[in-house]
Chain A
Amino acid sequence: MSLPPFKVLRPRSIDEAVGYLEKHVANIRVLAGGTDLIPSMRQRLFSPEYVLDLSGVAAMRGVRPQSDGGVEIGSLTTLRVIENSGFLRQHYPVLAEAAATVASPVLRNMGTIGGNICLDTRCLWYNQSLTWRKGCGFCIKKDGDLCHVAPGGTKCWAAFSGDTPPALLCLNTEIEIAGPSGVRRIPLQDFYTGLGDSYRKLQANELVTRVFLPASSADYRGVYRKLRVRGSIDYPLAGVAVVMRHSSNGHSIGHIADVRIGITAVNPAPLLVKGATDLLAGKEMNDLLAEAAGDLAAKTAKPLTTSALTPEYRSEMIRVFTKRAVLAAAGMN
């Protein structure tokens, strides 16, 4: 299947890119690595008049450690560069680990961190060819007004299925957004709406330009666990990220000083598990506590029949992975 017709714009700088977005705001799509956008255009989920190819904007690439101990990552940086970055593996291991599970090695040579953050939400009834969708009845997210997942409902439940955002949320990540009225910087947590259709707060004339990991989240232990059908290529059907820091207590590992848990692929947005810090901080890890963390995460997960595995199984795996991940982060697996 070929792609719909469009014109390609190839800016060399962020200003030029934003200028193009502003000029063609009604009908333009941003192309980074293309591993989400190109398959989606093939399926006619998007048929823009203009495609803004960012690949020539060199200023948007690279992992740049900052003097305060934090790091700034250009949004066009590939997932391959992130998983292989010695700096990130050492200081922000949960991000490197999550990046290394995305799709397949070849797709990670192409896919970018900005594209992973902006990734479209997914559903069995949405990520299909035009013919398929026409045959089954167009849904709320594209061209129709019904929902196959929650019949009679008016809300879209497509699941956010990126692997790095739960890790980034745990790290208190901020992102920089550039638009015609300048740049703004927001917590990643405020980027997602929780809706399956208009899932992100990004205007059509805006770009995500940089990703900031603060020094205050450096050097946490990190673990990412992912449920997929095959061991490679597949999107997550449930994912859990955990970061943890222990109080220093001579040479033995002390009690948990701080902890955050993020989940993905089971709601229309990646989410931090509320109450995780209250539950675990100040305590020493044990099996019962890990069970309780699992139960809490499973309550935050609201999977529906948006993918090939049942919601019950995905929810149960959030519970199991959270338990295993907090134990692993505490050095107890």
Chain B
Amino acid sequence: MKKELIELRVNGRLHELAVEPNAVLLDVLRQELQLTGSKRACDDSSCGACTVLLDGVAMMSCTMLAISCEGQEITTIEGVSEHGSLAAIQKAYGDWGGAQCGFCTPGFIMTVKSLLAENPDPSEADVRAALSSNLCRCTGYNQMYDAIRSAIKAEREGSAVTK
């Protein structure tokens, strides 16, 4: 199949890429750009392990064509850390045991980022509703809620996440 030349802006960097028209964004991120943080788990558009942000909004990178993403700002889990150190939500996930095998974690964190961008002070119900887009097959979800709650608190108070 004839490849097409496209420009993708990922984590603030512009990449010029030749992609097959039927390539999904997830495969281009993982295989062309070696950004392997976003995962493929279900392959039927239901688990959220592949979640990335497009112009700040959470979307499933396994269910969109890379070619359709031209002109949008793509953020992956690799673009979440701040000035080389872990973002509050990443640190909190570690501290509270929000990840077990960790396969679902990048997707969950991107969903949380998109929630907090829209609503910096979500209620417990808002957090639970937002997280219903993602599936985890290891942990209870409670450690994740604990982590998210402490990250929100830290962000609000401008303090470091502490457990």
List chain A positions with a Cβ less than 8 A from chain B.
Answer: 1-8, 10, 31, 34-35, 38-39, 42, 51, 53, 55, 104-107, 109-110, 231-233
Contact = CB atoms under 8 A, between A and B. Distances in A.
Closest 5 CB pairs of A and B: A232-B132, A106-B133, A104-B133, A3-B22, A8-B21
26 contacts: A2-B23, A6-B21, A8-B67, A38-B24, A38-B45, A39-B63, A42-B43, A42-B44, A51-B22, A55-B68, A105-B58, A105-B129, A105-B132, A106-B51, A106-B58, A106-B60, A106-B111, A107-B45, A107-B60, A107-B133, A109-B57, A109-B59, A110-B60, A110-B64, A233-B46, A233-B133
Interface residues of B, number: 30
B65 A34 contact: yes
Looking at B4, B27, B46, B135, which has the most chain A CB atoms within 10 Å of its CB? B46
Contacts of A110: 59-60, 63-64
A105 B63 contact: no
B130 interface: yes
A128 to B, nearest CB: 10
Contacts of A7: 21
Given A3-B22, A104-B133, A109-B59, 4 more contacts: A7-B21, A31-B68, A109-B58, A110-B64
B1 interface: yes
A31 B24 CA distance: 13
Contacts of B65: 8, 31, 34, 38, 51, 53
A108 to B, nearest CB: 9
B63 A38 contact: yes
B103 to A, nearest CB: 17
A233 B65 CA distance: 21
A53 B59 contact: no
A39 B62 CA distance: 9
Nearest to A36: B45
A3 B24 contact: yes
B98 interface: no
A233 B132 contact: yes
B62 to A, nearest CB: 8
A275 to B, nearest CB: 37
Nearest to B72: A55
A107 B67 CA distance: 19
B37 interface: no
Contacts of A105: 58, 111, 129-130, 132-133
B43 A1 contact: yes
Nearest to A128: B44
A3 B63 CA distance: 10
B132 A4 contact: no
Contact of B48 (A1, A42, A106): A106
Nearest to A1: B43
Looking at B4, B22, B45, B111, which has the most chain A CB atoms within 10 Å of its CB? B45
A53 B22 contact: no
Interface in B32-60: 43-46, 48, 51, 57-60
A6 B51 CA distance: 24
A42 B64 CA distance: 12
Nearest to A127: B44
A53 B69 CA distance: 11
B132 A5 contact: no
Contacts of B21: 5-8, 51
B22 A5 contact: yes
A151 to B, nearest CB: 27
A204 B46 CA distance: 28
Contacts of A55: 68
A42 to B, nearest CB: 7
A109 B53 CA distance: 11
B45 A35 contact: yes
A107 B1 CA distance: 29
Given A1-B43, A2-B22, A106-B51, A38 B64 contact: yes
A34 B45 CA distance: 10
